Chains A and B, each alone.
Chain A
Amino acid sequence: MARAAIQRRLIWRTAEVLENRAETPRVHRLVLDVPDWPGHLPGQHVVARLTAEDGYTAQRSYSLASPPDVPQLHLAVERLDGGEVSPYLTDELRRGDQLELRGPIGGYFVWSAAADRADGEQRPVQLVAGGSGVAPFLAMVDHHQRQGSPTALRLLYSTRTAADVIGRDVLGEETTVALTREHPPGWPGVTGRIDRDVLAHYAFPPAERPRVFVCGSTPFVEFVAATLIDLGHDPSAIRLERYGNSEELK
């Protein structure tokens, strides 16, 4: 695995909520202003911390859904019923509120135009998302567009219904959306789950040696990774991120 030394002291920063809007029935987009944000790479995440009046704190990780090219930080927070943190973030947090953040965190599940240029290889980038696992890919796709990167990039994105698609303002030609719970007439993408045939048809073929990033629930990520390897992709070129691990589980 590649090594990169990203050693930076991670202090708690105070973010101001600029906007908290429902983007889909289940996902809110938080737009945050973080003074002195040190910058990040597409794919990195932050830890958000809530503090109750009695001093109790809870912290959860969220991928950054915005690229380093814009000054605000965006989080796409899925409301998990019965959760401790996500319902607070989606339902209670308002414009002007403060939220403590630490980051950026993670240096492996990242892609940037600059790293590609330095690398000189110009390998295509294949992104595969399940549900709100698309969040880090919104940062990558947006960054790719803003940088005018020559790297070929595709996103295969599985979600329940057309109304559940996150990031409609960013996603474009590079994206194929697979709807698992509805089959709208004339849907330009895929209907049904991302299975072996869909991966074989829509993902860059192994011969093009794509760098592959997969983000979603653990069963989704395990299935996609195992199927890609079965199709001939190099296991060492596949990087995984799972949501639902550091968020609420019940």
Chain B
Amino acid sequence: MAVLSRGFRRARPERDDGRLPPGQYDAGDDFPVLSAGPTPHTALERWDLSIDDATGGLARWSWEEFRALPHERITVDIHCVTTWSKFDTRWEGVALDTLLEHVEADSPYVLASCDGGYTTNVPLEDLVDGRAWVVDTYDGEPLAPEHGGPARLLVPHLYFWKSAKWLRRLSLLEQDEPGFWETFGYHNYGDPWREQRYSDD
């Protein structure tokens, strides 16, 4: 039985279109920034994106090669575990399906690794079939460093910490390996519609 908060009332109008997951609120035009460490500034000449597995490197793209891959425009809602949601965010990037065409991918798990040391884990099946991208453009502009530029993962159907900023490597794994926040008590999967914020939610 929840504890009622005497005199507390909803201060914002309720969305009735079913797009706000439980426990979230609409951040409107704000785009809050969260990161555990300083924003890295990797020069584009030194940037690359790679896919590997236990056998070694499977694919690698320089910045120019990545930019030359077919890009898609994506408009999606995003949901941060700290309870803000943002609607109709506009991104451009390369579908994971496109990247994975270049490799034999049948390992069930993926660990994303980033500049600055951040990692996060996502099942492979959540990254395919048009559900995940590596994005380099936000709202028509190059993705700003504090929002994960040059390029970040975008997995909008999971809480936004899974959409790793400053992405550099995707490792295909036979065994699931928890990433950074997942080892600090956050949920291993992170479905906002099931409110999977912390372990065991």
Contacts and interface: CB of A to CB of B under 8 A. Distances in A.
Contact of B11 (A9, A49, A84): A84
A4 B3 CA distance: 33
Contacts of A56: 9-10, 14
Contacts of A246: 80, 82-84
Interface size class of A (residues with CB under 8 A): 35 or more
Nearest to A3: B183
B12 A84 contact: yes
A8 to B, nearest CB: 7
Contacts of A6: 183-185
Interface stretch (B30-38, B67-75, B125-133): B30-38
A31 B39 CA distance: 35
A70 interface: no
Interface stretch (B20-28, B89-97, B150-158, B167-175): B20-28
B140 interface: no
Contacts of A4: 183-184
Nearest to B32: A245
Contacts of B39: 222, 225-226
Interface residues of B, number: 42
Given A52-B8, A250-B28, A10 B185 contact: yes
Interface in A196-218: 218
Interface string B166-196: 0000000000000010011100000000000
A10 B173 CA distance: 29
Where chain B touches its partner, the secondary structure class is loop
A100 B23 CA distance: 14
A118 interface: no
Contacts of A92: 6-8
A98 interface: yes
A109 B4 CA distance: 32
B5 interface: yes
B123 interface: no
A249 B32 contact: yes
A59 B199 contact: no
Nearest to B116: A235
B118 interface: yes
A99 B5 contact: yes
Nearest to B201: A10
Contact of A239 (B2, B37, B198): B37
Contacts of B33: 218, 222, 242, 245
Contact of B28 (A226, A228, A249): A249
A238 B38 contact: yes
Given A6-B184, A225-B39, A245-B84, A250 B30 contact: yes
Given A57-B23, A105-B198, 20 more contacts: A1-B36, A5-B183, A6-B185, A50-B8, A51-B2, A51-B5, A53-B4, A56-B14, A84-B12, A88-B5, A88-B8, A92-B8, A98-B3, A100-B2, A218-B32, A222-B39, A226-B38, A228-B38, A235-B40, A250-B30
